[in-house]
Amino acid sequence: MEGNQTSVTEFILVGFPLDTKTQMLLFGLFSLFFVLTLLGNGVILGLISLDSRLHTPMYFFLSHLAIVDLAYACSTVPQMLLNLLSPAQPVSFAGCITQTFLFLSFAHTECLLLVVMSYDRYVAIYHPLRYSVIMSWRVCLTLAVTSWVFGVLLALVHLVLLLPLPFCGPQQVNHFFCEIIAVLKLACADTHINETMVLAGAVSVLVGPFSSVVVSYIHILCAILKIRSGEGRQKAFSTCSSHLCVFGLFYGTAIITYVGPRHGDSKEGKKYLLLFHSLFNPMLNPLIYSLRNKEVKAALKRMLHKERS
């Protein structure tokens, strides 16, 4: 058996097996969403960079979230669009493994950044008088760099375990990009350790942080209800609800995808869920923060007024 095995040098992404007309429709629709993702996150980055009023810890972390969302979308969506145009287009082994690594790196980093942003809101509302001391620029930079470093290192663990596996066929990855679980199913060896590490990694960056953020938001809610000023309470609710929406969308879809059951009819459903996770989440994040945040809307108005002047 081993003598007849040949090493796979390229993969074919199954994507969404639809008729040609539907694929062209989806190509146009998803291309529009991708452009909106680039524009939305680009506008958020531009506003935070150019408006000095947004040079605060909260918007510092939001700028990093925008960068991750841009990278996150760029690591999967272009390949999906190409696959819609040419379904049988092969992907090289190196390209597929690189995409897996980049997707995991950005996904882990976004998980950790959302936890850091929750901590920032917790300090701002629960310890307002000590906020500037606790969330100094040195602390903010350390938290942001730590999120990026740990995100990449966690992805590197999966990459080190994935590379030694032999791939001898079939070549078809049952996904719209080189998602790690779908790639592992093509290995001609026991992948129990890999799957266990994927589950362990998901629990460490999803379930644990999710529980801690839920507890912190309970404390935040109690603190907000104690605020006497109606305007102060409304501002606190506005900033926290924006982050809570983004947090819920990202963590909800990720937990269902990687911690939920991996057998039965749920496989195809999770493929579509991951489509929402990788395409719509990065597009919705800037919309949520801009529509529900008065400071971002005010900065956008000032920027438009300057352009007109």
The per-residue pLDDT for range 160-182, each reduced to its tens digit, is 999 999 988 778 898 889 999 99
Handedness of CA 224, 69, 106, 261 (dihedral sign): positive
Tokens in use for 202? 């998901």
Mean pLDDT of the chain: 86
Confidence of residue 6 (pLDDT cuts 50, 70, 90): low
CA distances from 280 to 29, 115, 153, 214, 277 (A): 12, 20, 26, 23, 6
Residue 170: per-residue pLDDT: 79
Confidence of residue 197 (pLDDT cuts 50, 70, 90): very high
Residue 286: per-residue pLDDT: 85
Residue 307: per-residue pLDDT: 67
Mean pLDDT (whole number) for 53-70:
93
Confidence of residue 275 (pLDDT cuts 50, 70, 90): confident
**200 or 233: which carries more pLDDT confidence?**
200
Give the global pTM. Answer: 0.89
Query: Which stretches does DSSP call E strand in the chain?
Result: 10-13, 90-92, 172-173
Q: Return the residue matching tokens 């980093």.
A: 109
CB 110, CB 72: distance < 8 Å: yes
Q: Is the pLDDT of residue 5 over 70?
A: no
Mean pLDDT (whole number) for 219-236:
76
CA distances from 95 to 177, 182, 262 (A): 11, 15, 25
Residue 163: per-residue pLDDT: 92
Q: Which of 50-64, 168-182, 251-265 has the lowest mean pLDDT?
A: 251-265
- Cα distance between residue 194 and residue 136, in whole Å: 39
**What's the alpha-carbon Rg for the chain, to the nearest Å?**
21
* Spatial CA neighbour of 169 closest among 186, 147, 156: 186
Half-sphere exposure of 204 (CA within 13 A, CB side): 12
The amino acid at residue 281 is N
Among 12-16, 189-193, 293-297, the range with the most confident prediction by mean pLDDT is 189-193
**Domains defined along the chain, listed by start:** 10-299 (1.20.1070.10)
Q: Give the DSSP letter string of 39-94.
A: HHHHHHHHHHHH-GGG-SHHHHHHHHHHHHHHHHHHTTHHHHHHHHH-TT-EEEHH
Helix, strand, coil tally for the chain in percent (to 5): 80, 5, 20
Beta pairing, strands 10-13 & 90-92: antiparallel
Secondary structure of residue 229 in the 3-state scheme: coil
Q: Is the pLDDT of residue 194 over 60?
A: yes
Confidence of residue 4 (pLDDT cuts 50, 70, 90): very low
Confidence of residue 267 (pLDDT cuts 50, 70, 90): low
Q: Is the pLDDT of residue 266 over 70?
A: no
Residue 183: per-residue pLDDT: 92
**234 or 62: which carries more pLDDT confidence?**
62
